[in-house]
Amino acid sequence: MQKLSRLILFFAIVYLSTCLILFPKEAIEVGKDAVSLCLNSVIPTLFPYLVASGYLSASGIASSFSRYLSPFMRPLFGVSGSGSIALVLGTVSGYPIGAVCASDLYQSGECTKSEAEKLLAFCNNSGPLFIMSVVGCGFLNSPHLGRILYVSHVFAAILTGIILRSYNPSSGQVQKALPKPLSLNTKNTLQIFGGVMDNSVFTILKICGFIIFFTVFSKSLPVCSLSPIFHAFLEITGGIRDIVSLEINFDTKLCLISFFIAFSGISVLFQVGAIASKSGLSLKPYILGKLLQGVFSALLTKILISKLPQTVDVFTKNAVGTESILPYSEFLSSVSMLCFGLILLSILLVCAIFRQRHRN
């Protein structure tokens, strides 16, 4: 598998390099669009979550969640209570925040390797800003369909986590959490925050690098009838935009969109692989989880469409644009969703503490 992936990546780079030499002007234009996407959308949307997830893990706050929320997380998903951080932030943010949370929790000694790999399988999800704003309002011209896609996406992730509850990627091996860093208690808040900021900047640059590479690569491929499907398989943003233009059945089109949003694409897979490799986490549970979530999401979308049909025209030429009207609106929306996630975590923690004390 390792040799095959190296061979595929080698030929992909050779092919892309050839296209850059033969069509430099077109490649530069596509690269500019990808850089603009990173600056105007990816960085302001994801960076606050990278900082928040890193700090929650590095500061030891996750220990409180592990202690009080394990009675909720372990029966449902087979992971410790600290996994609630990855579940909530990975649901209200976007790719690849869930993977960052899982890796941070394992590196900080808050969960075992097996638990971190299971968290990768169902906590790394697309965010509401992308699904409801970009896909729903921008591509489909329908906030209603955006909500259906997001609800299907979230419930599919939860179903995937429940099904993989008993799955042990490292069966037969004694699983222990990594020892907590000895220097954690000697660091002050500013030192911890500074380290988290360094890691977050490095991670966001890596994410943007993958987005730019796969955007240029996918646009360099020959065009055919299956190009939108293959494009979505590589990179979901442009691929979903191409699927919208397909002349196929309406329900089938939405189910395809729902599947690829959950599957996340090869670009996100490489992002997750780069993050997980620092901790030595396997990608097999992630790939299995994304395939399961894609199937569940498509089925749930089909069910919800039949129960909550669309009442206005979609796929019209007057679709709402994906660019923000107000400057920094995506950053403000991201921070708002982050605050919502942190408030939700706090409510869960308070309820768990109250329940435990009431029992005692």
Q: Which residue did the predictor score with more confidence, 162 or 108? A: 162
Report yes or no on 136 lying in a domain: yes
Q: Which residues of 49-64 are buried (b: 16+ CB within 10 A; e: fewer)?
A: bbbbbbbbbbbbebbe
DSSP-based three-state secondary structure for 62: helix
Q: Which residues pair with 177 in a beta bridge?
A: 112
State how far the alpha carbon of 353 is from the alpha carbons of 63, 349, 350, 359, in Å: 13, 6, 5, 10
Report yes or no on 197 lying in a domain: no
Residue 318: the pLDDT is 42
Report yes or no on 177 lying in a domain: no
Report yes or no on 154 lying in a domain: yes
Contacts of residue 59, defined as CB under 8 A and 6 or more positions apart, other chains included, come to: 189, 192
Residue 343 has pLDDT above 50, yes or no: yes
Q: What is the CA radius of gyration of the chain?
A: 21
| DSSP conformational letter for 183 | G
Residue 175: the pLDDT is 56
pTM above threshold 0.85: no
Residue 39 has pLDDT above 60, yes or no: yes
Q: Which residues pair with 112 in a beta bridge?
A: 177
Contacts of residue 228, defined as CB under 8 A and 6 or more positions apart, other chains included, come to: 239, 242, 243, 245, 246
Residue 302's domain spans which residues? 37-165+203-313+327-359
Residue 162: the pLDDT is 93
Report yes or no on 172 lying in a domain: no
Residue 40: the pLDDT is 80
Report yes or no on 104 lying in a domain: yes
Report yes or no on 181 lying in a domain: no
As for how many domains the chain has, the answer is 1
Q: Which residue did the predictor score with more confidence, 251 or 67? A: 251
286, amino acid identity = Y
Q: Which residues of 150-171 are buried (b: 16+ CB within 10 A; e: fewer)?
A: bbbbbebbbbbbebbeeeebee
DSSP 256-267: HHHHHHHH-HHH
